[in-house]
Amino acid sequence: MKLEESKSDKAPQIVKFETASKSRKEGLVSKRIHSAVSALASSSSPVSETDDFFQDCVKNLSKAFEVKYAFIGVFEDDTKSSIRSLAVSADLKITDNITYDLKGTPCEDCLNHQQVLIQEDVVNQYPEDDMLADMELQSYFGSAIIDSNGNELGLVVILDTERMEKDEWMYPIFALFADRISLELERINRQKDLRLAASVFENSQEGIMLLDTDWRIRKANQAFSKISGWKEKEIIGLPVTKLATKDQTDFSICKISKSLSEQNHWEGEIWSHQKNGGIYPEKRTISAVRDPKTKEIIHYISMSVDISEQKYAEQRINRLARYDQITDLPNRNYFNEKLNEEISNARNKGSDLALMTLDLDGFKLINDMRGHSTGDRLLKLIGERLQYLPLNEIFAARIGGDEFTLLFSFKEKQDKLVPLLKGRAEEIIDLISHPYMLDGEETVITASIGIAIFSKESEDAQNLIKNSDLALYAAKKKGKNCFEYYKPEYSSNVENQFALTNLLRKALTKNQFELHYQAKNKAKSHEVVGYEALIRWKLDDGVLVSPGQFIPVAEDTGMITEIGKWVFEEVINQTQSWLNSGFHFGRVAINISGRQLADDGFVEWVEALINKTKASPEHFELEITESWLIEDPDKSARVLSQLHDLGFKLSIDDFGVAHSSLNYLKCFPVDTIKIDRSFTRDILTSEESMAIVSAIIAIGNNLNLNILAEGIETEEQLKKLEAAGCNEIQGFYFSKPQPVSVLEANHQTTGFNKHQPLRSISA
């Protein structure tokens, strides 16, 4: 071998493996070759410890090449910028290992050229290498350590403080040392990989099985045993399909084999048997392992994870998204899905479909008076009762608040569907109305139902829901605790109401409202004791809109609050004018909406208005409808007390209509009870109506309340009420509601005062 000489003092002498001339005598060369081969053979012998091998190797290198130092180094990290030694020999003794930066060193050139021999003056050639100077080194011989895949692992180096001789035999022998070291490093890495693989196999949280090409289990780890309950020895040799449940069509060996053949990978979810007889869901991944040379599949690795908790979480999330948490019935989202599905079936398969919308009567009162927790318990009990219905034909859902929907799908003919729905509606109303035990107290609640039947020609989900809601509204107006079918005129009414709402919004700005006043008289003397202010709506063409038409619309839209304030201000201004003109009107009643009472700022507004106008509250009586009082009794009592403290008289209008407890009379600061016309109109023909009226009068008198009966149209009614002890009368028998102009004209004509009866001018 011939070594190419360096042309620069600082350049390394690079080995080109050219034939070199012999520079020593045959005997000396033979002796050194024999020594080197013996050292190599010794280094190749098996050893018990890896450290022993590397230490023996560096000592044998020093002996073979008759040098002072030798070391074996591997890269410190992936940057390959430094090496750390595995063994260092100095004067044939093992010394401490070192870490060595490669930049500017002969080792850097050695890695670039695989072998470098520098016979002398190495220190001057690499002035940046402090280690060379510190050790006073003269010569350097290094070889890269390369694995079987051609990857550099590190290098093996010998150094001396004297000039190093070069001979042809040195290069192959040194290369053989490097190859032997490479084999040992690869063996170490393989062992590490095997230990790592074994550690991963045994300590993995995933269940792992090794399968042969016949799909039989050859090995399983502890995680698999923990998940499945099967011990490794119990399943060795079994086909892996034995552990899967029979209905796992996805776990088909043919499908999996095809996927593995094409992609070396298969992944899916299956249900597997546990040893205790249970089954569990798992996510299974199978990979094919191929022979590196033939590329044939030699075995499979199956990895699985128990996904029971994940499946439970998914089911829980799905249930939260689709079911109501109080009643456990389907919620609005699920109902909408089901409705669209059933409408599609009705169109495509010809089945009949009907929707019932159910609303509880008086639920708000229970919720407010007895608390939301009690209200929730009641809803839960109602949900349980609805689940008693035949769920194969009825889909019941709670869509919010106290509103439920029931979806019916039948194959009945249209002529049989209506009576069938009638029977179901009656059954449901009866089911709901049975008493409930809440907090140890028996509670009764009723339900109203609206029914809409699907029409394939014209309807979709939105229209079906709307029609059912309109039918429910009709059932509520009919008196509740009943059901109504949708009728086309309901939609017309809604359209009319929508148009009416738009006109009503403009009525205040166009000054279309006016007040009429109806007198209230003493039952015995017939003297006028006051008036009730009643609003009227006159359109631009002079047509009067009945309060029965627009007041409910104003209530529903919330415009009643603004209208109510207008009435209040108008009455105060009118009475101030009457007082200034000498008209003694007694006390004027103003109707107050429940929406006004619910407004937290209403009392403050009234007080500010009184202060501004200097009006005296003793001239006014505020009438509140009984049904509004019982919507929120606590707040109603508080607001009425504040108004009473300001000096207003208070009256309960339409008393008895809401079927409330007379116990409320003790809670509210009431001065007058108005008996509703629905009771007084029948007192001549119905003993029951007269008995109710007499009872109200008796209780009112015992409580020192003023009793006024409205709707009186005949003298016979008047006499009967007078005999029962009624205090005041209001009705057409004495006076119809009159505009201010007519009322004032009559005053000017007759010269009546506040004690003069108006019967003579009522027509």
Residue 300 lies in a domain: yes
- Dihedral sign, CA of 320, 324, 326, 329? negative
Q: Assign residue 409 the CATH number of its domain.
A: 3.30.70.270
Res 51 pLDDT > 80:
no
CATH of the domain at 251: 3.30.450.20
User: Looking at the predicted structure, is the pLDDT value of residue 721 above 90?
Assistant: yes
CATH code where residue 81 lies? 3.30.450.40
If asked whether residues 567 and 636 sit together in one domain, one would say yes
Query: Is residue 58 domain-shared with residue 91, that is, in the same domain?
Result: yes
The residue segments making up the domain with residue 66 are 2-194
Measuring CA to CA, how many Å separate 578 from each of 164, 472, 534, 582, 758?
135, 47, 17, 6, 18
Which of these three, 257, 279, 312, is where a domain ends?
Answer: 312
Among residues 669, 679, 729, which one has the least CA distance to residue 705? 669
Mean pLDDT within 122-129? 93
The residue from 164, 194, 224 where one domain ends is 194
Specify whether 307 is located in the same domain as 337: no
CB 381 within 8 A of CB 436: yes
Residue 509, in any domain of the structure? no
pLDDT in tens, 299-323: 888 888 888 888 887 778 878 888 9
Q: What is the DSSP string of 424-451?
A: HHHHHHHHHHS-EEETTEEE--EEEEEE
The answer to whether position 305 is within a domain reads yes
CATH number for position 746: 3.20.20.450
* Percentage of the chain modeled with pLDDT above 70: 87
More confident residue, 248 or 530: 530
How many other C-beta atoms lie within 10 A of the C-beta of residue 44? 16
Q: Is residue 265 part of a domain?
A: yes
Tell me: do 88 and 109 sit in the same domain.
yes
- Residue 355 — pLDDT band, cuts 50, 70, 90? very high
Q: Could you tell me what percent of the chain has a pLDDT over 90?
A: 39
Which of the 8 DSSP states describes residue 115? E
pLDDT of 11: 46
Distance in angstroms (rounded) separating the CA atoms of residues 134 and 408: 98
pLDDT attached to residue 731: 93
Are both 209 and 297 inside the same structural domain? yes
pLDDT on residue 413: 59
50 φ/ψ angles, rounded to the nearest 5 degrees: -60, -45
**Per-residue pLDDT tens digits for 663-688:** 667 778 899 999 988 889 989 998 88
217 and 180 in a single domain? The answer is: no
In this structure, the answer to whether residues 391 and 467 fall within a common structural domain is yes
Structural domain contains residue 199: no
Which residue, among 251, 274, 255, has the nearest Cα to 263 in the 3D structure? Answer: 255
Residues 209 and 190 both lie in one domain: no
pLDDT tens per residue across span 560-616: 999 999 999 999 999 999 999 888 889 999 999 888 888 889 999 999 999 999 999
Answer for the pair 170, 3: CB distance below 8 angstroms, yes or no. no
pLDDT at site 761: 33
Same domain, 542 and 676: yes
pLDDT score of 2: 34
Residues 530 and 608 in one domain: yes
Question: Phi, psi at residue 420, to the nearest 5°?
Answer: -65, -45
Q: How confident is the model at residue 756 (pLDDT cuts 50, 70, 90)?
A: very low
The C-alpha angle 289, 292, 293, rounded to 5 degrees, equals 135
Asked if residue 644 has pLDDT above 90, the reply is yes
* Torsions phi, psi for 677 (to 5 deg): -65, -20
Establish if 492 belongs to a structural domain: no
Q: What does the pLDDT average to over 714-738?
A: 93
> Does some domain include residue 494?
no
Q: Same domain for 744 and 654? A: yes
The mean pLDDT of 122-149, rounded to a whole number, is 92
End-of-domain residue from the set 312, 346, 376: 312
Count structural domains, the chain. Answer: 4
Residue 8 scores a pLDDT above 60? no
For residue 548, name the pLDDT band (cuts at 50, 70, 90): confident
- pLDDT tens profile 430-443: 999 999 998 888 88
Q: What is the pLDDT of residues 419-432, one digit of tens each?
A: 888 888 999 999 99
- Is it the case that residue 16 has pLDDT exceeding 50? no
Q: What is the pLDDT of residue 338?
A: 92
The mean pLDDT of 52-79, rounded to a whole number, is: 91
DSSP 347-373: HHH--EEEEEEEEEETHHHHHHHH-HH
d(CA 483, CA 486): 10
Domain match, 608 and 698 both: yes
Q: What is the mean pLDDT of the chain?
A: 84
Helix axes 560-581, 602-613, angle to 10 degrees: 20
Dump pLDDT digits (tens) for 452-504: 988 765 578 888 988 898 899 889 888 889 999 988 887 777 666 777 777 88
Residue 497 lies in a domain: no
